[in-house]
Amino acid sequence: MRVAILGNKGLLGTCVERHLRKATGHDCYSFDLPEVDISDKESISSTLNQIMPEAIINCAAYSQVDKAESDVISCFNANVTGVHNLAFWSLHNDALLFHFSSDYVFPGKDSSQYTELDELDGQSVYGISKELADRMLEALEGRLKYYTFRISLLFGPDGNNLIDTIIQLAQTSETLHMVCDQHSAPTYTQSIANLVCLFLDYYETGNPFHFGVYNAASRGGTTPKDLCYLLISLYRKLGLTPELKVKINEITTAQWESISKVKLAKRPAFSVLSTEKLQMALQEKGVNPRGFIKTFQQEVESYLETKKEAKK
């Protein structure tokens, strides 16, 4: 299958490209800034017209949540206009579009897990930009062949992420001030790449998963503070060095802002995603969901094991 990957230099795009290139039978064409700008309609159509992909995987995005508050136009250009351009091309050329959304499309004011049917209400510029793209794709349901995978707190070996930041800080500080009032589900890029490959395979063989939006984070939810405790215990369990001996000082987001004198974009306090719809979809195809949707503890452990292997 001819597959175009946009944003292939980012945290997710790099991993998706690596997995797709390993999977058999796909011709991959990948693009990122500055060569191809998804917000530029001409740039997108001339690039895609040359290769005529049967599937487009949009890993490109403006993903700097705090910077977006003062850089609204760049954020909306990539996250809204860019998705519009890709959807437009896909619609007119009968291509499948994969897109990635965020838990930040939800307000996060309650403490029950979000399903795909819950009302969207992004609280930040970034959250609103992702929400608008989700609404646009949903409005094309029945016309456009698309999958939106909604993910949260991505980590993986191919770019900056919270887990690596915590590890680095824990190895160089005596005490860490860790936020305890933001709950989400960390998501391993490798698991998303596996899901993309699986969905593509079913699509290619004429037995596609239902088009639409799927929550695709790992199971369970955690806070940065509890993630830090998990990393400390996994470092010990896996014998990783140098050991993380840092003390943790539990603080609220408001306290973090006051200590660091940095005003953060508003984040949902509780944005754990329910993956029930995805689990049922996998079961319907005879695929064991446990192989694809793991707990966040399993995901973090497997990431650390990969890091350990890479060190050898």
- Site residues (vs ligand NAP, CB under 6 A): 6-7, 9-13, 32-33, 36-39, 59-63, 78, 82, 100, 102, 130, 151-154, 159
Minimum Å gap between C-beta 128 and ligand NAP is 12
Between CA 238 and CA 235 the distance in angstroms is 5
Q: Which is nearer to ligand NAP, 187 or 279 (CB)?
A: 187
With beta carbons less than 8 A apart as the criterion, state whether 53 and 2 touch: yes
- Name the minimum Å distance from CB 43 to ligand NAP: 8
- Other C-beta atoms closer than 10 Å to the C-beta of 201 total 16
Q: Please report how close the Cβ of residue 108 comes to ligand NAP at its closest, in angstroms.
A: 13
Nearest residue (CB) to ligand NAP, 63 versus 123: 63
* Shortest Cβ 153–ligand NAP spacing (Å): 5
Which lies closer to ligand NAP via its Cβ, residue 13 or residue 107?
A: 13
Complex with ligand NAP: residue 47 or 279, whichever CB lies closer? 47
Q: Long-range contacts made by residues 236-245, C-beta under 8 angstroms, separation at least 24?
A: 237/301, 238/301, 238/304, 238/305, 238/308, 239/308, 240/304, 240/307, 240/308, 242/171, 244/167, 244/170, 244/171
SS3 239: coil
Write down the least CB distance from residue 76 to ligand NAP, Å.
11
Nearer to ligand NAP, 50 or 207 (CB): 50
Chain-centroid distance, C-alpha 136: 19
Nearer to ligand NAP, 44 or 170 (CB): 44
- Shortest distance, position 269 Cβ to ligand NAP, whole Å: 16
Residue among 127, 7, 42, 152 nearest 76 (CA): 127
Give the residue closest to ligand NAP by C-beta. 10
Min dist. Cβ of residue 119 to ligand NAP (A): 19
Let me know: does 268 contact 107? Beta carbons within 8 Å. yes
Pairing of strands 247-251, 175-179: parallel
Given the complex with ligand NAP, which of 6 and 228 has the nearer CB atom?
6
- Alpha helices in 41-158, H assignment, sequence order: 41-51, 72-76, 82-93, 125-139
